[in-house]
Amino acid sequence: MAAGTGLAHAETDPEKIAKICQEAEERYVQIYGHPSAEEEGVTVALMYKYTFCPVTLEVPLGTTVRWVNVDKRTSHSTWFRDEGQPESERLFPEETAEQTFDVPGEWGYLCGPHWESHDMIGKVIVLPQ
């Protein structure tokens, strides 16, 4: 995967995003019994209310990111479209997908079914060692 220019989330209200992401984390704790930051060996990004949480995720080189759908009824996907990668399978509530980032740069991604209708777009920034 080569580093791309990335995409930008259209939501500009940081308070709204923070509230959604706080709710997403609360759902994660309800489901798994511990905070997402306590997962070993992966960095967790959540999918909730048509938002990736966090919208922008900074990780060190070689990090595996696990996306977790914590919505109650909606399926989501991850799609690094600009990198020419295929869209992930639909992740239904409590399902996950993972990707390891071995190249530094910015990686814009989107939710296949919701990027146009709900601006569900995120970015992973992979920092060099």
Give domain limits for the chain.
Answer: 14-127
CATH architecture of 14-127: Sandwich (2.60)
Query: In this model, does residue 33 exceed pLDDT 60?
Result: yes
The two structure tokens encoding residue 13 = 């209200």
* pLDDT value of residue 6: 46
The alpha carbon dihedral of 76, 68, 47, 128 has a sign of negative
Query: In this model, does residue 8 exceed pLDDT 80?
Result: no
The two structure tokens encoding residue 98 = 């993972």
* pLDDT value of residue 11: 52
Instruction: For 45-60, write each residue's pLDDT tens digit.
Output: 999 999 999 999 999 9
How high is the mean pLDDT of the chain? Answer: 91
- Using alpha carbons, select from 82, 117, 76 the residue that is nearest to residue 97: 76
pLDDT-derived band of residue 13, with 50, 70 and 90 as boundaries? confident
